[in-house]
Amino acid sequence: MDHHTWNRFSRLLDAPVDPCVEAIKHWQYVHTERSRVDNLLAEICDDTDTFDASESWAIEQEAIVAELYRHLDEVYKTFERGDHTKFITHKPSAAKLLNPLPVPKYAFKEWLKQCRKMSEKPELIRQLPRPPFIPCSKVGCDDTLASSKTCVHSLEIFYRGAELNHKELIKERNFWHPDRWSRVPQPHRQEVERMAILVFQVLQPLCDGIR
């Protein structure tokens, strides 16, 4: 989506809206999708800057960005045509965007390394490292943990892609037991424990499913 097209669609959203209920709902939907795509693009750019990505990984990230812009372009054009009863339902999902793109191994190892190092001195923890970003595959997910910008659905994809065996999963689950983080000082403890509980809830069924 070029700069001219982006500006044209921005003016479209600022223009008066047909007062019918369908048009108003459609206008709200377009705004929501624009915000969602903006957030995903920001996360992708942030992760690209954070890690020393390989060339192949960077190319795949560019494909994800192109797919997000294609989706947003379709959202805008549907609204521009006045198709207010034909909301787009095939939103880009994590499964579509990330398959066959795996979570980079170096990102996974770096995140685990940082978490384990910080756990050695829980009394000094103020915030846990943020896990590598994966777009949530569940439309309308409201379970996102704000501080880490992740949710159970993203974490599940993250850990499944890590290909840990049963012993490694057990070790990882035990590491994230909420009791481990009870020495984190307030007012930071609650947010850290929420993160630990989130990861623990993801790992428990994965441990049960691999024997």
pLDDT one-digit tens code per residue, 104-158: 566 777 888 889 999 999 999 988 888 876 666 566 666 655 555 677 877 887 7
Please report, for residues 42, 94, 106, the alpha-carbon distance to residue 202 in angstroms, rounded to integers and kept in the order given: 25, 17, 21
Average pLDDT estimate for 42-50: 62
Is there a contact between 162 and 103 (Cβ–Cβ < 8 Å)? yes
pTM exceeding 0.85: no
Report whether pLDDT(40) > 60: yes
Q: According to the model, what pLDDT value does residue 147 have?
A: 54
Per-residue pLDDT of 167-193, as tens digits, reads: 999 999 999 999 999 999 999 999 999
The answer to whether 190 and 145 have CB atoms below 8 angstroms apart is: no
Indicate the burial class of 66 (C-beta count within 10 angstroms; 0-12, 13-18, 19 or more): exposed
pLDDT of 97 over the 60 cut = no
120 — phi, psi (to 5°)?
-65, -25
Residue ranges of the domains in the chain? 3-87, 105-209
pLDDT for the residue 17:
67
Mean pLDDT of 7-21: 70
Q: Answer yes or no: is pLDDT of 9 > 60.
A: yes
- Is it the case that residue 96 has pLDDT exceeding 50? no
